[in-house]
C-alpha cells in the first residue's frame, strides 16, 4: 500500500500524517508541492493540515494552484483515493474535488481543542472501521473551519450519504454540523478535525486510528 503526503510551504501536520499512515502499514513518500507528478502506483494521496502559503487570499487557495495539485486532481478523477485534513480539506474545496467552502469560524476565533464527532457514514473506505452513529473524540485546530454550501448541495450531500462526520456540539458554525464530506464516488474525504492527532495513546487518544486502519484494510481486501 503506497501513500503520498503532499508538503506545501506552511504545512505543519505532514509528518504527523505520515507517521499515522506508516503505523497503519502504508509505504509513505513525501512529495513537494512544486513536483508535477505523484510516485508510481500510489494508492492514497494525503493533503495535510497547516497554513499553506500563510493562508493568504483564502485558506488553501494558493496551494490549490500548486503544480502537484493537478496530479492530485487527475489521480482522484481516475478513481484514486485522497484524504484532506484541515488545510487539506480547504485545498480540496478550492481545487473543486469537493463541494462547498470553509469560512471563518462563527465566533471569528481560532479553536484548538478536542471535540466530539458522530460517524454519519461507516461504509466508506475511510470509515468502515467505525460504527454508524459512533461517537468519537478528535482534535480540531482551525480558524476557518465553518463548512458552508448552498441548500441544494447540503441536501444532496445528506441524501447521498456523503456526510462522513458531524460535530456533536458544533464549535464553528458549520452548516448541518458538517465536519467531513465525501466525494460522489466515496474515494475523496475532506475533514476539518485531525485524526492523525488521535492515532496513538501517547497523543492522548486513539479514536482517529480507525480511519487509517480502515483505509489499510480496504486496500488489503481490494
Is 196 one of the annotated active-site residues of the chain?
yes
Catalytic annotation, pick one of 13, 75, 94, 196? 196
- Give yes or no: 143 in active site: no
Which of 13, 33, 75, 86 is catalytic? The answer is 86
CA distance 179 to 167: 6
Is 194 annotated in the active site? Answer: yes
**136 vs 72: CA distance, rounded Å:** 29
Q: How many CB atoms lie within 10 A of CB 9?
A: 15
Pure H helices in the chain: 14-23, 67-77, 87-94, 151-159, 209-221
Residues 111 and 126: their CA atoms lie apart, in Å, by 25
Cell of 166: 458531524
Q: What is the DSSP string of 74-101?
A: HHHHTT-EEEEETHHHHHHHHTTSS-SE
CA distance 216 to 165: 19
Give dist(CA 114, CA 84) in Å, integer. 19
Give me the active site residues, please.
86, 194, 196
Amino acid at each position: 500500500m503506497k501513500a503520498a503526503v503532499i508538503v506545501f510551504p506552511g504545512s505543519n501536520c505532514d509528518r504527523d500524517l505520515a507517521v499515522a499512515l506508516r503505523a497503519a502499514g502504508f509505504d509513505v513518500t513525501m512529495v513537494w508541492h512544486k513536483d508535477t507528478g505523484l510516485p508510481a502506483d500510489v494508492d492514497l494521496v494525503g493533503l495535510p493540515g497547516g497554513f499553506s502559503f500563510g493562508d493568504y487570499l483564502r485558506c488553501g487557495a494558493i496551494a490549490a494552484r500548486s503544480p502537484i495539485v493537478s496530479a492530485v486532481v487527475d489521480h482522484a478523477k481516475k478513481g484514486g483515493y485522497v484524504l484532506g485534513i484541515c488545510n487539506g480539506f480547504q485545498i480540496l474545496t478550492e481545487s473543486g474535488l469537493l463541494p462547498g467552502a470553509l469560512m471563518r469560524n462563527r465566533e471569528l476565533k481560532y479553536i484548538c481543542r478536542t471535540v466530539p464527532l458522530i460517524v454519519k457514514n461507516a461504509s466508506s473506505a475511510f470509515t468502515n472501521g467505525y460504527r454508524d452513529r459512533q461517537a468519537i473524540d478528535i482534535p480540531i485546530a482551525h480558524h476557518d473551519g465553518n463548512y458552508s454550501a448552498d441548500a441544494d448541495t447540503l441536501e444532496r450531500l445528506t441524501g447521498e450519504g456523503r456526510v462522513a462526520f458531524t460535530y456533536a456540539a458544533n464549535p464553528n458554525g458549520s452548516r448541518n454540523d458538517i465536519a467531513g464530506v465525501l466525494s460522489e464516488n466515496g474515494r475523496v474525504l475532506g475533514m476539518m478535525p485531525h485524526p492523525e492527532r488521535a492515532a496513538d495513546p501517547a497523543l492522548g487518544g486513539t479514536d482517529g486510528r480507525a480511519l487509517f486502519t480502515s483505509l489499510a484494510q480496504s486496500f488489503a481486501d481490494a
